[in-house]
Amino acid sequence: MSHHVTFNDLPQGGEKFEPAKGGKIIGALGLVGVLGLIASAFFFFTKTDTFAYSWLFAVFFTFTFVVGGCFWILLHSASNSSWGVAVRRIWENLANMILALGIFAAPLLLPQVQKPLYEWMNHHREAAVHAHHDHTTVKEALHHMSVENPHLHALVSKYGYMNLNTWFSWYTRFFLYFLILWHIARTLRNKSLKQEQDGDIKHTIAARQFSCRWLLFYALTVTFAAYDWLVGLDYLWFSTMWGVYIFAGCAWASMGLTILVITWLRGLGYMKKVVTDEHYHLMGKLLFAFTVFWAYIAFSQYFLIWYANITEETRFYLIRNTDGWRWVSIFIVIGHFVGPFLLLLSQPRKKNPVVVSLVCLWILFMHLVDIYWNVIPERGPSLGIGVWVPGAWVQDLAALCAVFGSMGFLYLRGLAKYSLYPWRDPRLIESVNVIN
Amino acid sequence: MSTTLKRVHGYLAEFDSVKDLYHAAEQVRDAGYQRWDVHSPFPIHGMDTAMGNPRSKLPIFVFCGGITGTAIAFILQTITQTNFWSHIGLGFLQKIVEAYPTVVQGKPTDIWTLPAFFPVMFELTILFSAFTTLFGLLALIGLPRWNHPLFASKNFPKFSDDGFFVCIEARDPKFSQEGTKSLLEKAGGKNIELVEDEL
């Protein structure tokens, strides 16, 4: 209250980011992206089978941030909150990266990439050939095949969801996910940009109504995308916690990224007046909440599977709790939960931009480990190579550099397109002076 | 007739609005008073800063309470259901409970059966934290008590409806009959009264 900021204290037209100012990081990301893309192209043609896993890991890792950004604008609008107006544009831009990500995700549509990743598709394709030959349906052909291979009974039972040839096939859903996320991201940013023309509160209200309706579709999108792309790696496995687990990681990591981007922008001299340590505190609290939420969900999933001890379910944790992966699992428990939990517990640390940003760097790293641990352990056993694939980490790194580097480059450059905060939002002043 | 002993509790001043109360609080804080408080019908954002209150000690108590809960749950469960304590050379602890061993659920007996104990560790952490929060808070604010000297003021009941008050207590080392009163007047206080506590 001592430094009450009014509308006149803020620059007319908001603050525009000049990419030249942040050239070092943007340039580095671009370079990493280009080098990664070249390496990826090489691995794609020479080591397609193992590299498919690397690419899936990199695309999904990047996808979680975009999805998380989408969640935060939806939640912000739906809950009618005012504190986040100052940082909302960062989320809007993050969510709008979905189209660019679609290009990076497109290789997953290629049968050559799907072959090593999704065993169930191979069975379905074989069944389709039989079905064509015997003039029956794919489902019946699968049923016949299960005489030889009893595991395929599961595929017959799951046919309604896991299939390649109905109106609700894997392909249809793939396009739907991007369409829905793009629609949400674009609509909310458009409303926000229109408000910059007239400063009318009606756009805020419209965004609220829109968000309340689309939160449901958003939740379904994240859940189903997580199932289709990751659970599908092992068609016998299932977990009802999976969608929530992935979602918790998305919200957590994207909040971490938001804090880092804001700290970076403030270091370059932007948003100095609109973002205060109160915002850091608020975002830190949400980060803390999702640290606990993630742990709660991750443990629930592990605990139920561990205790129930059903063969199809335990396979997921068996391959991750044996050999070297066991230490990664234990590392995740400590690094993903215990560390951030203790670090984010106290208020002064959350309010300190430097400290909380360092924690956020750690959080991004742990989220990377988490997604890696979810995707990669499946590679060796599925391809019949063993637990570890020697030297494959180079391919993982190449894919990560290609996708995350390029997307990071596009994202940070894209910040320059609009004002860094919605400068004519009627509740901006309320947000700038927030005290909690 | 009335020869009741009375003790001066302090000066009570009323303010018209949240804004006045806030600025008054800043002035009292800057004058260096320690034993004083504001009373309002609802919480006011930023009042802690305006009053210059230090951070509450409660979180430290709650943290210790929570850790105690986790530790108790861990110790009780591992003593009765695993061989962990024998392995680290404290087998006598397990001897104590061997009269009533709980060998149930077909779990492994080493420390890696730990996930089975998490729910109880979690619950006891919450329970102990909640208890320390509640009882720690009551201890720190001095509740429950039978009465409060400020209830002697006829004006004061408005604090739960539409009144905003500052009360500077007489036990404050800076308190003086003239100086304190003029400070409150200067800050815009109205209906300033000397509240007396019946002994």
- The whole-number pLDDT of residue A77 equals 96
Question: What is the pTM (predicted TM-score) of this model?
Answer: 0.90
Q: Is position B75 within any domain?
A: yes
Q: Are residues B159 and B148 both part of a single domain?
A: yes
Distance from CA of A303 to the nearest CA of B (A): 7
Characterize the bridge pairing of strands B190-198 and B164-169: unpaired
Q: Is the peptide bond before A11 cis (omega within 30 degrees of 0)?
A: no
- Please tell me whether residue B12 adopts helix, strand or coil conformation: strand
Chain B environment of A299 (Cβ under 8 Å):
115, 118
Facing A435 at nearest CB: one of B45, B55, B59: B45
Q: Is position A9 within any domain?
A: no
Return the sign of the alpha-carbon dihedral for residues A308, A312, A318, A320. Answer: negative
- The whole-number pLDDT of residue A213 equals 96
Mean pLDDT over the full length of chain A: 94
- The whole-number pLDDT of residue A417 equals 93
Domain count within chain A: 1
Q: Are residues B10 and B108 both part of a single domain?
A: no
Q: Is position A142 within any domain?
A: no
Range of the domain at B26: 6-52+142-198
Cα separation, A84 vs A77, in Å, equals 9
CB contact under 8 A, A435 and B59: no
- The whole-number pLDDT of residue A38 equals 97
CB contact under 8 A, B116 and A307: yes
Q: How confident is the model over A185-199, as a mean pLDDT?
A: 94
Q: Is position A48 within any domain?
A: yes
Contact B154, B28 (CB under 8 A): no
Q: How confident is the model at residue B6 (pLDDT cuts 50, 70, 90)?
A: confident
Q: Are residues B135 and B154 both part of a single domain?
A: no
Query: What ipTM was estimated for this complex?
Result: 0.78
CB contact under 8 A, A299 and B118: yes
- Residues A321-350 pLDDT 10s: 988 899 999 999 999 999 999 999 988 999
Domain count within chain B: 2
Q: How confident is the model over B12-41, as a mean pLDDT?
A: 94
Distance from CA of B123 to the nearest CA of A (A): 12
Residue of B20, B44, B45 for testing the chain A interface, max A β-carbons within 10 Å: B45
- What percent of chain A clears pLDDT 70, i.e. is strictly above it? 99
Return the sign of the alpha-carbon dihedral for residues A93, A94, A95, A101. Answer: positive
- Residues B57-103 pLDDT 10s: 999 999 999 999 999 999 988 888 888 888 888 888 878 777 666 76
Distance from CA of B147 to the nearest CA of A (A): 32
> Around A242, how many Cα atoms within 13 Å sit in the side-chain half-sphere?
22
Q: How confident is the model at residue A368 (pLDDT cuts 50, 70, 90)?
A: very high
Q: Judge whether B22 is closer than 8 Å to chain A, CB to CB.
A: yes
Return the sign of the alpha-carbon dihedral for residues A217, A219, A225, A228. Answer: negative
- Count CB neighbours of A9 within 10 A: 12
Q: Is position A126 within any domain?
A: no
Q: Are residues B131 and B79 both part of a single domain?
A: yes
CB contact under 8 A, A299 and B63: no
Q: Is position B1 within any domain?
A: no
Contact A380, A388 (CB under 8 A): yes
Q: Are residues B97 and B130 both part of a single domain?
A: yes
CB contact under 8 A, B50 and A1: yes
CB contact under 8 A, A1 and B115: no
Q: Is position A114 within any domain?
A: yes
The residues, any chain, with a CB within 8 Å of residue A375's CB and separated by 6 or more, are A53, A56, A57, A60, A230, A233
The residues, any chain, with a CB within 8 Å of residue A371's CB and separated by 6 or more, are A57, A60, A61, A64, A249
Residue type, A405: G
Q: Among B141, B156, B173, which residue terminates a domain?
A: B141
- The whole-number pLDDT of residue B55 equals 86
Cα separation, A262 vs A270, in Å, equals 9
Return the residue of B nearest to A309 by Cα.
B107
Facing A435 at nearest CB: one of B46, B115, B119: B46
Chain A environment of B46 (Cβ under 8 Å):
1, 435
Q: Is position A251 within any domain?
A: yes
CB contact under 8 A, B63 and A1: no
Chain B environment of A346 (Cβ under 8 Å):
59
Chain B environment of A435 (Cβ under 8 Å):
45-46
The residues, any chain, with a CB within 8 Å of residue A351's CB and separated by 6 or more, are A277, A278, A280, A281, A284
Q: Are residues B43 and B71 both part of a single domain?
A: no
- Residues B165-175 pLDDT 10s: 999 999 999 99
Q: Are residues B128 and B149 both part of a single domain?
A: no
Facing A1 at nearest CB: one of B22, B59, B116: B22
Residue of A1, A337, A342, A344 for testing the chain B interface, max B β-carbons within 10 Å: A1
The pair phi, psi for residue B196, each rounded to 5°, is -115, 140
A10 has pLDDT over 60: yes
- Which element (helix H / strand E) includes A389? none
CB contact under 8 A, A302 and B63: no
Question: Which conformational region is residue A269 in: left (phi greater than 0), alpha (psi within -120 to 50 degrees), or beta?
Answer: left
The pair phi, psi for residue B164, each rounded to 5°, is -120, 120
CB contact under 8 A, A303 and B118: yes
Distance from CA of A86 to the nearest CA of B (A): 19
Facing A306 at nearest CB: one of B22, B63, B115: B115
- Residues A96-143 pLDDT 10s: 999 999 999 999 999 999 999 999 999 999 999 999 999 999 999 999
Q: Judge whether B119 is closer than 8 Å to chain A, CB to CB.
A: yes
- Which element (helix H / strand E) includes B195? strand B190-198
Q: Are residues B88 and B114 both part of a single domain?
A: yes
Q: Judge whether B118 is closer than 8 Å to chain A, CB to CB.
A: yes
Q: Is position A141 within any domain?
A: no
A14 has pLDDT over 90: no
Q: When comparing pLDDT for B113 and A290, which is higher?
A: A290
Single out the residue of A293, A403, A288 nearest to residue A56, CA to CA.
Answer: A403
Chain A environment of B50 (Cβ under 8 Å):
1
Chain A environment of B118 (Cβ under 8 Å):
299, 303
A2 has pLDDT over 70: no
Chain A environment of B63 (Cβ under 8 Å):
345
- The whole-number pLDDT of residue A22 equals 86
- The whole-number pLDDT of residue A178 equals 97
Q: Are residues B70 and B122 both part of a single domain?
A: yes
Q: How confident is the model over B98-124, as a mean pLDDT?
A: 82
- Please tell me whether residue A79 adopts helix, strand or coil conformation: coil
The residues, any chain, with a CB within 8 Å of residue A190's CB and separated by 6 or more, are none
Residue of A3, A304, A435 for testing the chain B interface, max B β-carbons within 10 Å: A435
Single out the residue of B181, B130, B142, B159 nearest to residue B11, CA to CA.
Answer: B181
Cα separation, A92 vs A192, in Å, equals 9
Range of the domain at A40: 28-118+167-432
Return the residue of A nearest to B47 by Cα.
A1
Q: Are residues B90 and B156 both part of a single domain?
A: no
Q: How confident is the model over A278-304, as a mean pLDDT?
A: 96
- Count CB neighbours of B74 within 10 A: 17
Distance from CA of A346 to the nearest CA of B (A): 9
Q: Judge whether B106 is closer than 8 Å to chain A, CB to CB.
A: no
Q: How confident is the model over A249-254, as a mean pLDDT?
A: 97
Distance from CA of B99 to the nearest CA of A (A): 27
Q: How confident is the model over B41-70, as a mean pLDDT?
A: 92
Q: Is position A284 within any domain?
A: yes
